[in-house]
Structure 1
Amino acid sequence: MSTAPTRALEHPEREEIRLEAVLHALSDPMRLQVVRFLAELGEEGEAPCSAIELAISKSTTTHHFRVLREAGVINQVYRGTAKMNALRRDDLDALFPGLLDSVLGADAAQRQRTD
């Protein structure tokens, strides 16, 4: 059984991920919602873009996923026609220990205060 080739997307290598790019990517509420969704899937979790409901246009959604990918926050791969997304937790935790957990914790606390 042969597998179809996958289209490759540009991702920074671990050592190329910059703190300021990660912080910028995490500063937008829609992008933070994507990260929160992927973080809740756990270490082996991945999801297609269509599984992450954002109340914005498809072109804006595409932009947000691209910002997250180019910052090194998520990994994206094509599987058939679906673009699968996974959080690069190992890379982020290795480069910036505690950052992702701190941001997600602060986000949860803020959402609790404002709900």
Structure 2
Amino acid sequence: MPNNITNTSTKQEAMLGILKALAHPIRLQIIVDLINDENGAERHCTSFGLTVAKATRSHHFKLLKDVGLISHIDRGNHSLAKLRREELEEEFPGLIGLLSNL
């Protein structure tokens, strides 16, 4: 998600990408888990209890990163994910609140 989206068309394209990403139940669950994490901390990508192959898990996290829902942090042998809460609230007010009710 580009910073400071001002162009309506660009903002619509960004929202379309987010909605497409969230249409998959695994990606939706990752985002809901991050939203509901009270600390808002970075989470190890294996901490989500996903019962999928490592390559599939990596694919889902890459898509979430590509649409701007999460940031990906490399810590040596560990990959961490963090919800881009502030940016999402700024660009798409109410989205996090809507998803937190799922």
TM-score range, shorter chain: 0.7 to 0.9
Shift of 1:101: 1.3
1:53 CA displacement: 1.2
Q: Please give the alpha-carbon distance, in whole angstroms, between the structure 2 residues aligned to 1:50 and 1:41.
A: 15
1:5-63 deviations in Å (ceiling 9; x for gaps): xxxxxxx4323671111111111110011111211223541111111111211111111
Gaps of 5+ in 1: 1-11, 108-115
C-alpha distance in 1, partners of 2:4/2:61?
Answer: 21
Matched, 1:14 2:3: yes
**Alignment partner of 1:53: what SS?**
coil
Note the residue ranges of structure 2 that are not aligned, 5 or more in a row. 6-10
Paired with 1:72 and 1:42, the residues of 2 have a C-alpha distance of: 21
The sequence identity of aligned pairs, in percent, is 31
* 1:25-40 equivalence runs, <5 A: 25-40=21-36
Count, aligned residues: 95
Can you list the C-alpha shifts for 1:48-105, whole angstroms capped at 9, x where unaligned? 1111111211111111000100000000010111011100111111001001211231
2:32–2:99 contact (8 Å) kept in structure 1: no
Computing the radius of gyration from Cα coordinates, the structure with the larger value is 1
CA RMSD, Structure 1 to Structure 2 (Å): 1.7
TM-score by length of 2: 0.83
Q: Which residue of 1 aligns with 2:8?
A: none
Query: In 1, distance between residues paired with 2:29 and 2:70?
Result: 13
Aligned partner of residue 46 in structure 2, secondary structure = helix
Q: Which amino acid aligns with 1:45?
A: A
